[in-house]
A and B are shown apart, each in its own frame.
Chain A
Amino acid sequence: MKNYIAKRLLQLLPILLGITLLSFLLMNTGAADAVDVMESNTGSVMTEDEKNILREELGLHRPLYQQYIVWLGNLLRGDMGESFVSGQPVFDTFLSKLPATIYLTITSILLTVFLSVPLGILSAVKQNKITDYLIRCLSFIGNSLPNFFVSLLLIYFFSLKLNLLPVMGNTAGWKSVILPTLTLALSMTSKYTRQVRATVLEELNKDYVLGARARGIEEKKILYFSVLRASMLTIVTLLALSIGSLLGGTAIVESIFMWDGVGKMAVDAITMRDYPVIQVYVIWMAIIYVCVNLFTDIFYHYLDPRIRLGKEEF
């Protein structure tokens, strides 16, 4: 186990380096000249000489690899530059907006679990019956609805027509989290109901279930004590792996509901061409994603007794 963790942590290093390098290259070679963007954002007119002085201050005249090393050093110290628009340090802004996104992620994951696990089990147990077809049909519909359409439909019905919930913002307490959570949970639930169903079905077809049935054990007992316990490991892992993509996928939903998280921050930055803000978003979302996936993987290995107690063959 220890060896496994050490190995996985070592594998993480080149990936983290790759993430930073790719983000750096993306923002520094593809993007428009930073000084030009600053000029157009501040609205002040600069002469070519002034621009060159500014470029030298920012270190833009140096070769790219030197810029990268300096930039990487700053990154490790939590200094990722200032926003072109507000002039605030972007890393601080990112940290201040992160809790809102995490809050939304947690509520959506919880709702997804509460919906998809029972629905998936029900669907598997009632395989090829009406209940199963209905659940599968609904999850198919949910899978084909883009989340921005769902958000707008929910706003239309619950906020504008029925006047039950606030249209946007995260200032109205628990009420404001309902619609964005529903939106995010809907597509995830559609996906996980199918996966839970598949996992449970696979377990139900194993020989030990047949053996238990042959010994006359109640169907319910088999389901709750054997099948569910065995499938939970896969289900939990799948859900944990989705946390990362959920963290990133919230951008559109956050900006529709004016939810003041990192996703909305990034979308706002796009319109202003505020590259440092986009950069901090891309890099940190990727780092969080990679780390969450790694911990899930390690946790999965820890939970699996075959691996925990067996030989360390990794």
Chain B
Amino acid sequence: MREKKIVKDYTKQKMLVFGVLVGMVILIALFAPYLTSYDPYEQDLGNALLPPGKEHLLGTDRYGRDMLSRVMVGAQSTIFSALLLVVVITVMGSMIGIICGYHGGKLDVFLMRLSDIFLAFPGMVFAIAVASVMSGGIFNAVVALACISWPKYARITRSQVMAIKNMPYIEAAKLSGSGTLKIIRKHILPNIAGAIVVTAVLDIGTMIMEIAGLSFLGLGATPPTAEWGSMMSNGRSMLQTSPWVILAPGTAIFLTVMIFNLAGDTMRDILDPRQRKG
């Protein structure tokens, strides 16, 4: 028999560190316009494509715009649209899930068949179609991704609601005269919130990548708006001569997604210890 070491649990400390990091990323994005030393949109063709140096820490793009300023301001469009998207699909999906799970009946059958159809499209394919029909724009990219992402939340919520709706304490609440809304608000929501929040936080990173991906294809933010995906798309042709135009926004996406994923993973360990890995 192998010896088993008792491993000290650092989950709480981890959550604190990652929480602070997430907070910092959001704060930087929020106050980006006041933190930048250059105007991210002002062209200065004399200083185009400067490599990273003292004046411009991350170099300049082909219009002489400071990359650091653009990456910081770009954080706003990328991160905030991802957050908006996650909030929208969480609220919409879990509302549909609660209605389906609690109410049941024909409405449930209809909404679940509808979600089957949305789930039948492989992820990005449908988002590409919706975004292209709505002709780009970062808001439309959010709508496109919301269309394909709500069924997941509806399903999770629905199964959670169905698992607890026949519990004795719900029956007791009914007997003591609580209305449907009160039961949902006081007894069901608090019990399922953990699972939904964990799913939502873990999705932020994915959504950042998908929004940036759609922008990369020209279906999200449109130039000159500073957005990480479209910045990378615009820099593609300069990959050989000035790789920093790609590296700066690319690394920004990578680090942000990683921070959100780490925070999400730790949060799952805290809120949902059953799923805890390793």
A: residues with CB less than 8 A from B are 14-15, 18-19, 22-23, 26-27, 30-32, 127-128, 132, 136, 140-141, 143-149, 152-153, 155-156, 160, 194, 198, 201, 213, 244-245, 247-249, 251-252, 255-256, 266-267, 269-271, 273, 275, 278-279, 281-282, 285-286, 289-290
Contacts and interface: CB of A to CB of B under 8 A. Distances in A.
Contact of B254 (A31, A145, A213, A247): A145
Nearest to A157: B243
A140 B261 CA distance: 9
A156 B239 contact: yes
B129 A23 contact: yes
- Chain B interface bracket (under 10, 10 to 19, 20 to 34, 35 or more): 35 or more
15 contacts: A14-B113, A18-B116, A30-B130, A128-B7, A140-B262, A146-B212, A152-B236, A156-B240, A245-B122, A248-B124, A252-B124, A269-B132, A286-B122, A286-B126, A289-B120
Contacts of B219: 270
B25 to A, nearest CB: 13
Contacts of A23: 129
B236 A247 contact: no
A281 B253 contact: no
Given A143-B261, A152-B246, A160-B240, A252 B122 contact: no
A244 B122 contact: yes
A148 B130 CA distance: 20
Contacts of A143: 261
A304 to B, nearest CB: 22
Contact of B134 (A30, A147, A275): A30
A134 to B, nearest CB: 13
Interface string B114-127: 10111011111110
Highest count of chain A CB atoms <10 Å: which of B122, B205, B209, B262: B122
B257 interface: yes
A255 B243 contact: no
Shortest Cβ-Cβ A-B pairs, 5 listed: A248-B122, A18-B117, A248-B125, A144-B258, A149-B250
Interface of B: 1, 5, 7, 113-114, 116-118, 120-126, 128-130, 132-135, 205, 209, 212-213, 216-219, 229, 232-233, 236, 239-240, 243, 246, 250, 253-254, 257-258, 261-262, 277-278
A267 B217 contact: yes
A153 B125 contact: no
Nearest to B210: A146
A31 B133 contact: yes
Contacts of A285: 121-122, 125
Given A18-B116, A144-B205, A286-B120, A26 B213 contact: no
A286 B121 contact: yes
Given A15-B120, A282-B126, A152 B134 contact: no
Nearest to B257: A144
Contacts of B133: 26-27, 30-31, 275, 278
Given A251-B125, A252-B216, A285-B125, A18 B205 contact: no
B132 to A, nearest CB: 4
A57 B132 CA distance: 25
Contacts of A275: 133
A278 B126 CA distance: 10
Contacts of B205: 144
